Amino acid sequence: VHLKHLEPFRLSLEKLQDVSARLRKDMIRGLGKHSHHRASVKMLPTFVRATPDGTEKGDFLALDLGGTNFRVLHVRVLEEEQRVLKMDSQICAIPQDIMLGTGEKLFDHIAACLAEFLDSQKLRGQTLPLGFTFSFPCEQKEIDKSILIRWTKGFNCSGVEGEDVVNLLKEAIHRRGDYDISSVAMVNDTVGTMMSCGYRDQSCEIGMIIGTGTNACYMEEMKNVKRVEGEDGRMCINTEWGGFGDDGCLKDVLTEFDEEVDKTSINPGVHTFEKMISGMYLGEIVRLVLLKLTEEKLLFRGCPSEALLTPGSFETRFISEIEEPDSGLENAKKILTKLDLDWDLVDACVARLVCDTVSSRSARLCAAALATIVNRIRINRGLDHLKTTVGVDGTVYRKHPK
């Protein structure tokens, strides 16, 4: 089926190379001492100077906040066997009213869930160090001091932007007064992913997330990190590549559907790249394409259902289900039925094609951006050929069949 509305999603190799070259320029701008404040790709220093060397050991707590759920974990690291034992973990939901309420309520909620977890693990008496994975753009001042630049991915808690997030967490724990933590190390989820893979594979120097949002980090030469003192060694840089294109440099890549997704999002005009790639938005892009094809009488006999007209009704997980190699067509039929659409076999096949087209673009844009980073490391080191490992995480990466 040749559908003109799908053409703009099909990016040629030349276009992808072009996108990669634009990102390269933006990364350099983000690293510059005087240009970084107006860069859309923030290139934030993380103060992480090395990947793990395998001699780390002990008991730790971990908090992971970055999507609709957050996790609390108890981790034991054994030096002898060079391995990490996940002792136990618990997932806590974050209700919508907390995601959009005050910062104080959010951190009280987190502190309460942590307390519950410590009780369930009989850890209440111990004062353990805490690793805090916080997957939002932050201006890191030190490993335990980190200022939120802005919320993304559907969060909008008041009184947190411009504040030190570690401090807000500590204050919430002190307000309770029934337990304590020793030290806090704060990392972005990309850095956490790179570090946890780096524990087993010393050549892992890039971390990438393709989940609710998308982002990547990598090891940069200190001499290129102009806003931190020092010339020696390396530092992990959190690129915050989700903001790539926020200055309008991707105008020619965006489709009318991307523009619509942006307009109706909680943060219009920002995180342009992320909105073409990540799980928070992919389902909505597919819904808008299906709706357009229906309005042009190319699908569902020209009759959209109430569900198809409802923003957010086409969940991103539907894309993964519809693209399953074996059961995909059956899944497509079930999902279209669930959305009250009057479909025939051709409609189900077109729906699969739309999903494939939208997720392929997402994957290719990620690949182009990853290539930019790998080439940067390669050139930094004066190599013709670089062998490195990328640690990857995120629901889209984990769940999508391709």
Instruction: Return the structure tokens found at 23.
Output: 């990102």
Calpha distance 182→207 (Å, rounded): 27
**pLDDT at residue number 1:** 54
| Contact criterion met (CB below 8 Å) for 16 and 368 | yes
| Contact criterion met (CB below 8 Å) for 165 and 138 | yes
CATH topology assigned to domain 58-187: Nucleotidyltransferase; domain 5 (3.30.420)
Nearest in space to 288 (alpha carbons), one of 214, 365, 362, 355: 355
Per DSSP, 184 falls in state E
DSSP H helical ranges for 142-264: 165-176, 189-200, 256-264
Return the SS3 of 304.
coil
**pLDDT at residue number 50:** 84
Return the SS3 of 238.
strand
Beta strands 58-65 and 130-134: pairing type?
Answer: parallel
**pLDDT at residue number 253:** 98
- The reply to whether the predicted model has a pTM over 0.95 is no
∠ Cα 372 373 378 (to 5°)? 100
Which CA distances in Å does 302 have to 66, 217, 284? 39, 45, 19
Helix axes 256-264, 279-295, angle to 10 degrees: 120
**pLDDT at residue number 55:** 75
Round the CA-based radius of gyration of the chain to a whole number and report it: 22
Residue 60 CB neighbours (<10 A): 19
Same fold: 4-44+206-399 with 58-187: no
| Contact criterion met (CB below 8 Å) for 206 and 389 | yes
**pLDDT at residue number 59:** 86
Per DSSP, 337 falls in state H
Calpha distance 271→105 (Å, rounded): 26
**pLDDT at residue number 2:** 62
**pLDDT at residue number 177:** 87
Tens digits of per-residue pLDDT, 165-221?
Answer: 999 999 999 999 888 888 888 989 899 899 888 888 889 999 999 999 999 999 999
| Contact criterion met (CB below 8 Å) for 239 and 215 | yes
Which CA distances in Å does 110 have to 113, 123, 171, 176, 180? 5, 17, 11, 11, 14
Return the SS3 of 74.
strand
Q: Give the catalytic positions in this structure.
A: 153, 189
Calpha distance 365→132 (Å, rounded): 29
∠ Cα 192 386 193 (to 5°)? 10
60: enclosing H helix or E strand: strand 58-65
Per DSSP, 223 falls in state G
Spans of the chain, pLDDT less than 50: none
**pLDDT at residue number 283:** 98
**CATH architecture type of domain 4-44+206-399:** 3-Layer(aba) Sandwich (3.40)
Paired residues of 219 in beta bridges:
236
3-state secondary structure 197-222: HHHHCCCEEEEEEECCCEEEEEEEEH
| Contact criterion met (CB below 8 Å) for 311 and 285 | no
Calpha distance 35→44 (Å, rounded): 13
Instruction: Give the start-to-end residue ranges of the domains of the chain.
Output: 4-44+206-399, 58-187
